[in-house]
Amino acid sequence: MSQETNTIKPLHNYQHLSDLFVQNERMVRDFDQNSVETIGKGSFGHVVKARHVVDEKVYAVKIIEITGNESKLWEAYMKRIREVKVWARLDADHFVQYRSSWLECVGSHDSTSRCSLGYTLYIQMDLCWFTLKEAIRKMRTHFVRQPKQCWPELGAYMAGELLIEILEAINFLHALNPPIVHRDIKPRNVLIKGGPGARFVKLTDFGEAVEHKSESQTHTMSVGTDKYMAPE
Q: pLDDT tens digit string along 104-143? A: 877 655 555 556 677 889 999 999 999 999 888 877 776 6
Share of the chain above pLDDT 90, in %: 41
Closest CA to 140 of 129, 151, 153: 151
Taking residues 180-196, what's their average pLDDT? 89
pLDDT digits (tens, 9 = 90+) for 14-38: 444 444 445 567 888 899 999 999 9
Ligand-binding annotation for 79, yes or no, is no
Which strands make up the sheet holding 20-22, listed edge to edge?
A: 20-22, 98-108, 118-126, 58-66, 45-51, 37-42
Q: Report the CATH number that the domain containing residue 198 is assigned in CATH.
A: 1.10.510.10
- Please give the tally of structural domains in the chain: 2
Closest CA to 21 of 106, 121, 110, 119: 106
Backbone conformation region of residue 222, classed left if phi is above 0, alpha if psi is from -120 to 50, else beta? left
pLDDT at 136: 84
Same domain, 120 and 144: no
In whole angstroms, what is the distance from residue 155 CA to residue 151 CA?
6
User: Is 97 a residue whose pLDDT tops 90?
Assistant: yes
pTM of the model: 0.78
Which of 69, 96, 126 is the last residue before a domain boundary? 126
The answer for residues whose C-beta is within 8 angstroms of residue 113's C-beta and 6 or more apart is 107
**Top-confidence residue, 144 or 177:** 177
Same domain, 188 and 93: no
Are the CB atoms for 52 and 35 separated by under 8 Å? no
First-last CA distance in the chain: 36
Domain range spanning residue 106? 11-126
pLDDT at 107: 67
Q: Report the CATH number that the domain containing residue 59 is assigned in CATH.
A: 3.30.200.20
Closest CA to 191 of 126, 100, 96: 96
